[in-house]
Structure formats: C-alpha cells, structure tokens
Amino acid sequence: MYPRRGPVRVLKKGDLPNVTSKPPTHEETERYLRAELRSMNVHVPDHVPLNLAALEDPADKYAKPSYDMGLLLKLAIWGGERHMLLLSEIKDAIASRFEWYAAPENESWKVSFLKLN
C-alpha cells in the first residue's frame, strides 16, 4: 500500500508559467551582449559586428587570451550563420581566431566542452 501524501492540488490554467513567450529579438540579444561586454570592460564600438573578430588580440599572439570562455562561446555562436553553431564549429571558430587555442600543446581546453555534449 502506498503512503498517503496529503491532498492533491489541482493546477489551474493561471498556475502554469507562460510557455508561449517569444525568444528575444535580434536587437535585444545585441543589447544584452554589448552590455555584458561593457560589464567585463571589453569595449566594442557599436558599428563593429559582435563576433570573435571584435575582440582584441593578446599582446603576444601566441599567449592565451584573457577573455572568459563563456564570452568566447557566446561570441562564437552569435557570429555564426543564423547565430547557431555545432560544438565542433564553436571549437573551430575559437581555435581559428586565437593562436593559443589552436596550438596542439593547448588542446586540453577542449575538454571543458565535453560537459556540453
């Protein structure tokens, strides 16, 4: 016999979250990303498209960039066609933009992406 758990609560239409909300517009996403960049003290002029190319190169082109991986991920995706990329395309975009990520001895950064699969 199953234990009793108390009264059953019947959900009404108003109890459910609004699941028909629309995703943010292109402009809203751009504003969000630019605000996030400003909060990280990364300055990208408004006329520059948001993608990995908008980020400054490190002083030594073979040095690891100081940018947060989350930021690199967002800009790689936003810079992709239709603002969508496969994981392999994200890795390729980051590695092709920054020399440090492309170097064979630095391949360990790709392991962090395994959690996303």
In a domain, residue 109? The reply is yes
Q: Render pLDDT for 98-111 as a digit per residue (tens, 0 to 9).
A: 999 999 999 888 87
Please give the residue range of the domain that contains residue 110.
67-117
pTM across the whole model: 0.76
Answer yes or no: is 37 within a domain: no
- Greater pLDDT, 75 or 1: 75
Average of pLDDT values for 57-80? 93
The mean per-residue pLDDT over the stretch 19-41 comes to: 89
50 in a domain, yes or no? no
How many structural domains does the chain have? 1
The average confidence (pLDDT) of the chain is: 86
What band does 66 get if pLDDT is binned at 50, 70 and 90? very high
Long-range contacts, 106-113 (Cβ 8 Å, 24+)? 106/64, 109/69, 112/69, 113/87
Considering the domain boundaries, does residue 24 fall inside one? Answer: no
In a domain, 87, yes or no: yes
